[in-house]
Copies of this chain bind each other. A is one copy, B any other.
Amino acid sequence: MSLPDLDSFLSPRSIAILGASTHRGKIGAVPVRYLVEHGYDGEIYPINARADEIEGRRAYASLPAVGRPIDLAIFAIPASGAMAALDDAIAAKVRNIVMFSAGFAEMGKEGEQAQREFAAKARAAGIRVLGPNCLGFMNVARSVYATFSPVVATGENQAGHVGIVSQSGAFGAYAYAMARERGLGLSAWVTTGNESDIGVADCIAWMARDPATHVIMAYLEGCRDGAKLREALDLARAAGKPVVAVKVGRTELGAMTAASHTAALAGDDAVFDALFRQHGAYRARTIEEFFDIAHCLAVAGLPPNTQVGLLTVSGGVGVMMADDAAEAGLDVRQLPAAAQATIRKRVPLAATHNPVDITGQVTAEPELLEATARAMLGEAGHGSLLIFLAAFGATPAMQALQQQLARDLRRDFPGRLVIFSTLADAAQRRALEAAGCLGFTDPARAIRVLAAMDFFLRQRLREPAPAMERGDGTAANPAAGPAPRPGPCNEADAMEMLGAWGIPTVAFQRARDSEQAVAGARTLGFPVAMKVLSADITHKSDIGGVVLNVRDADEAAAVHARILAAARDAAPAARVDGVLVARMVRGGVECILGARRDPALGVVIMLGAGGVNVEIMGDVSFRLAPVDIAQAREMIDELKTSRLLRGFRGAPPADVDALAQAIVRLSAFALAAGDTLESVELNPFVVLPQGQGAQALDAVLLTAPTDLPTSPTTRTP
């Protein structure tokens, strides 16, 4: 997997337009006009056999007729002519194609086949393809308008530093129009449509390298290659460019709709959540939030620390902001005593903890606002400041004061994020933005933005884990055992294999006959648990294949016979490898640990609550492998029932370190298993009191069937 350099694509020196037309209404006429009107500085070659000139540029009969290098060919032609045009493009040594043409994978099987053929032929010729069924792209910084979207014609977007990539053309166009309405300057805008070749991930990677792009907005409907997406997000993170993502298809109802509308394979939504979080991208839940966050990043950038100051002229709204901030987990700590004293010296009746409420007194003495803001940014050192001014902030005098304050505070406290909440028209908002500050009528919107800033800041504070705690299944891991082979695997095999990777399992013995069962139980010490040992029987309890608390030798012998008889009765065709005798484990906190291979996203690691809560409460946390030790700890903290592990109602704290280690090792094991692994589940996985470790009491390992070709390599970087 490697992310291509799309420079010649998104920043071409020459563009040919198939379907170019002298009729301005035609789709093919649009990009020629846009390119000319916006002053694209490269070569423009309209292709039209029946015209000499289009939009003042010489027209050519065909791609080969151009006779000069063509970085990009725009296919504004019907699907039926695409293959012939591709032959021309190959002949003309075209490097890249953007295909507007609809009528491919979105139309069903036949279209899918045609799309596959087109893409294969282009790939073989070394040509990159955007689309088909897309609105094209714009490189605003270089005035490359390779799109026919009418939204460009309805007004001018200013150039700026936000890159937008959208799988959907309709959403892309809407995003373009929304950016314009907000005055949010764009660097590039790409729609990927059917993604026969170039996908959202490629574009994110390109924007990560594009100097004009500082902030990346990505809209996804599906993802066929999680590894590539993760690599792209890592590139953006390494480049210090925050990514805000919208991924549609959250709930069941939503996912159903997605499947009926797009050819993309929608992955499990919780896994996408984990993927974005893990790779530093913030997932927005609404279109408004998507833009608010990007807007803040573009206008003000990330604040220098997570501390948030709340400043209000209304106690009640101060409470609302504090509520929202607490729910979002923001760092709204109390002001230092000195800063509080400074404020109270000016406003004796002020509440000064945080929120700071300077009350209606500010209407008589507007200068209190600046004094308080300076105490909060200065003495208290807040990275961000949210100022709620109610109706008072909307008077002309106060609007001017806010503009001045915005300039002064950004000058004297560089990089701090200052957001004003009051009524403000577009002109006032633009003025604040010009000073590097923001305005929102509803403070709740500001809090949502601050939550995203908090996320990005915390991402930056992460440190890389040492090699052996990285969970990446490489030889650097001294606990690495042999990789699993395809074929059936019973519980004892699974536990041994996991044990070799350093994942603790309960002490057990295999018993082929009753003598071995008794001897095994004596070795382990009574009481023991006894279970049927068979890769073919997954629901052991249901068939009477599990007996707990076996107390002595006589009972062990009898239970051995009983279990085998039960297995014969219930599953006569199953291959039974005898009985597993295991030590009984008392106490501890039960969890579920698992890993599964997702065909699109890679290896997913799961930690869930024990008992019914994993199902009833959905108390589960996901990450994509490799999961390092810090991420493993995050997974534990994310469980709603994590308090149970910390020592609840007088119980001793559980050995959380052992659990975290087990997660990392499961990650390493699952990655090393590669395509051989379907899934592995340790349930229950008991976390004993601190210092006593943890133990898997059961393990189910599903491998790929032996007759399928497998690759022992890992799928992720």
Contacts and interface: CB of A to CB of B under 8 A. Distances in A.
Interface of A: 107, 149-151, 154, 167-171, 173-174, 176-178, 181, 219, 221, 246, 248-258, 260-262, 285-288, 313-320, 322-327, 332, 349, 351, 353, 355, 357, 360, 363, 390-392, 394-395, 422-423, 441-445, 612-613, 616-617, 640-641, 643-644, 648-649
Given A170-B360, A171-B314, A316-B170, A322 B178 contact: no
A248 B323 contact: yes
Contacts of A325: 253
B288 A444 contact: yes
Q: Assembly of this chain: how many copies?
A: 2
A257 B351 contact: yes
A320 B262 CA distance: 14
Contacts of A246: 320
A314 B168 contact: yes
A353 B323 contact: no
A257 B616 contact: no
Contacts of A319: 221, 248-249, 254-255, 257-258, 261
Given A323-B251, A351-B257, A442 B314 contact: no
Contacts of A168: 314-317
Contacts of A169: 360
Give the one of A171, A255, A325 with max B CB within 10 A: A171
A158 B63 CA distance: 63
A640 B616 CA distance: 7
Give the one of A219, A255, A394, A648 with max B CB within 10 A: A394
Interface of A, secondary structure class, is helix
Give the one of A319, A423, A641 with max B CB within 10 A: A319
Give the one of A258, A422, A644 with max B CB within 10 A: A258
A616 B642 CA distance: 9
Contacts of A178: 423, 441
B441 A391 contact: no
Given A250-B323, A323-B251, A326-B253, A640 B612 contact: no
A176 B173 CA distance: 35
28 contacts: A149-B391, A151-B391, A154-B395, A170-B313, A170-B315, A170-B360, A171-B317, A174-B423, A177-B394, A248-B316, A248-B317, A251-B327, A253-B322, A254-B320, A255-B319, A256-B353, A257-B322, A257-B351, A261-B315, A261-B357, A286-B320, A286-B444, A287-B441, A287-B442, A287-B444, A288-B442, A612-B644, A616-B648
Given A445-B288, A616-B641, A170 B314 contact: yes
Contacts of A445: 286, 288
A258 B355 CA distance: 10
Given A150-B391, A251-B323, 5 more contacts: A154-B394, A168-B316, A257-B318, A257-B351, A616-B648
Contacts of A327: 250-251
Contact of A442 (B286, B313, B349, B644): B286
B423 A177 contact: yes
A220 B552 CA distance: 68
A327 B325 CA distance: 22
A326 B254 contact: yes
